[in-house]
Homo-oligomer: A and B are copies of this chain.
Amino acid sequence: MAEIGPNTRLRVSPFYNATVQDGVTAFSPYNAMLMPVSYGNPDAEYDRLLNGVSQWDVSVERQVEITGPDAARLVQLLSVRDLSTIEVGKGKYIPMCDHRGVLINDPVVLKHGSHTFWLSIGDNNILMWARAIAAERGLNVAICEPDVSPMAVQGPKAEEVVAAVFGDWVRALRYFWFAPAEISGIPVIVQRSGYSKQGGFEIYLRDGSRGTELWNIVKEAGQPWGIGPGNPNPIERIESGLLSYGGDTDDQTTPFEVRLGKYVDLDLDDDVIGITALRRIKAEGVRRQQLGIVFDTSERHPGHAIWYDIEKDGQKIGHMTCGAWSPRAQAMIGFALVGAEHRVGEAVDVKRGGYRDKARLCALPFF
């Protein structure tokens, strides 16, 4: 392991000082910022997420704000999911594709008003992408990255903590619904959402100068429920079958290949970016699919998979795109991106450095 710290190419999160104080031990870059990825106690961090409540700096989920008379039009052009019925105060998970139908992001879109939207993005320069399309199509919009930094509160006790901070009204928010709020004069948006299956909220900080304050308010309020620091959890997200754009995808991956076909509306207008390509791909047949993979051995391996080759009968059939030792499965598990002809239950080999592990394809999610 080598060192990393803030530099001019890595913007500092408003929660950075708070996470350092809480003992962050490792970062990964994401949208040109440092995302905390460990606090040095993986077992406790996993346990808090599954059984208690965990507090995450996910300010790397940057917002692309689109405003103006053509905002709704542009957002639909960027999304292969139909957004005609989205309501103010609600969000939707959308696949975004390039003109080839290849996935370039999977944000949550938040509708703040008929002419105001946020894309809460994964790791890619969608600000530049949205500006390119808007300018090329001559749309009347303004596009910026506002001063907004999400913090996630995740786990079965998350609702108790967020209600303790903001009031019982948050309990009525359904998934991806959101509302503006204020705590100690700090402006935020509270949304039921987050990158885990354990339930929870994302609190979008709207004043980057007050990150430590907000962090400490939530931390303090969470004490009765044993809150502690965490991050998008590499074990839980695999167990739960959550896609990691840029981790589980490559420069050829379509939504159909990674279980996002249900969010693709092929009868959208032709000018929606990627739609005509996706229609053709669907007609010609999707070549790859995302399945689970579980190792035969219950031995615990260190580290996560970096696109290990998967072989069957000595032939390469795809990649293992992520992996972790699952406490619930008591085995190494991960995602497999393999040819569409393969089936759940098939025995395969995973080539991991000098090793060859026996494994089996399975359905997703694991839990």
> B-contacting residues of A (Cβ < 8 Å)?
1-10, 12, 24-30, 32, 98-100, 104, 123-125, 127-129, 131-133, 135-137, 145, 244, 246-248, 251, 304-307, 321-322
With A98-B128, A98-B135, A125-B128 given, is the CB distance from A2 to B2 under 8 Å? Answer: no
Name the distance in Å between A276's Cβ and chain B's nearest Cβ.
Answer: 11
Which residues of chain B are near A29, meaning CB under 8 Å? 4, 9-10, 29
With A2-B24, A2-B25, A26-B2 given, is the CB distance from A8 to B247 under 8 Å? Answer: yes
Are B124 and A132 touching (Cβ within 8 A)?
A: no
Are B7 and A132 touching (Cβ within 8 A)?
A: no
Name the distance in Å between A45's Cβ and chain B's nearest Cβ.
Answer: 15
Closest 6 CB pairs of A and B: A29-B29, A99-B135, A4-B4, A136-B136, A8-B247, A1-B3
Question: How far is B129's CA from A172's CA once the two chains are assembled, in angstroms?
Answer: 41
Are B125 and A125 touching (Cβ within 8 A)?
A: yes
Question: How far is B30's CA from A9's CA once the two chains are assembled, in angstroms?
Answer: 8
Question: How far is B2's CA from A26's CA once the two chains are assembled, in angstroms?
Answer: 5
Are B8 and A98 touching (Cβ within 8 A)?
A: no
Which B-chain residue is minimally distant from A104 (CB atoms)? B128
Which B-chain residue is minimally distant from A102 (CB atoms)? B131
Are B136 and A8 touching (Cβ within 8 A)?
A: no
Are A4 and B3 touching (Cβ within 8 A)?
A: yes
Question: How far is B144's CA from A100's CA once the two chains are assembled, in angstroms?
Answer: 12
Name the distance in Å between A182's Cβ and chain B's nearest Cβ.
Answer: 28
Which B-chain residue is minimally distant from A24 (CB atoms)? B2
Which residues of chain B are near A247, meaning CB under 8 Å? 7-9
Which residues of chain B are near A6, meaning CB under 8 Å? 306
Which B-chain residue is minimally distant from A244 (CB atoms)? B8
Are B7 and A98 touching (Cβ within 8 A)?
A: no
Some 14 contacts from A to B, beta carbons below 8 A apart, are A3-B3, A3-B4, A3-B25, A8-B244, A8-B248, A8-B305, A8-B321, A9-B29, A10-B28, A29-B29, A98-B132, A100-B131, A128-B129, A145-B251
Which B-chain residue is minimally distant from A249 (CB atoms)? B8
Question: How far is B9's CA from A244's CA once the two chains are assembled, in angstroms?
Answer: 10
Which B-chain residue is minimally distant from A35 (CB atoms)? B9
Are B133 and A306 touching (Cβ within 8 A)?
A: no
Which B-chain residue is minimally distant from A245 (CB atoms)? B9
Question: How far is B12's CA from A125's CA once the two chains are assembled, in angstroms?
Answer: 21
Question: How far is B132's CA from A305's CA once the two chains are assembled, in angstroms?
Answer: 31
Which residues of chain B are near A25, meaning CB under 8 Å? 2-3
Which residues of chain B are near A26, meaning CB under 8 Å? 2-4
Which residues of chain B are near A30, meaning CB under 8 Å? 9
Which B-chain residue is minimally distant from A125 (CB atoms)? B125
Which B-chain residue is minimally distant from A273 (CB atoms)? B135
Name the distance in Å between A17's Cβ and chain B's nearest Cβ.
Answer: 12
Question: How far is B124's CA from A177's CA once the two chains are assembled, in angstroms?
Answer: 33
Question: How far is B307's CA from A8's CA once the two chains are assembled, in angstroms?
Answer: 7
With A7-B304, A9-B247, A12-B306 given, is the CB distance from A99 to B28 under 8 Å? Answer: no
Name the distance in Å between A100's Cβ and chain B's nearest Cβ.
Answer: 8
Question: How far is B123's CA from A131's CA once the two chains are assembled, in angstroms?
Answer: 18
With A12-B306, A28-B7 given, is the CB distance from A99 to B321 under 8 Å? Answer: no
Question: How far is B248's CA from A7's CA once the two chains are assembled, in angstroms?
Answer: 11
Question: How far is B248's CA from A3's CA once the two chains are assembled, in angstroms?
Answer: 23
Which residues of chain B are near A307, meaning CB under 8 Å? 8
Name the distance in Å between A249's Cβ and chain B's nearest Cβ.
Answer: 10
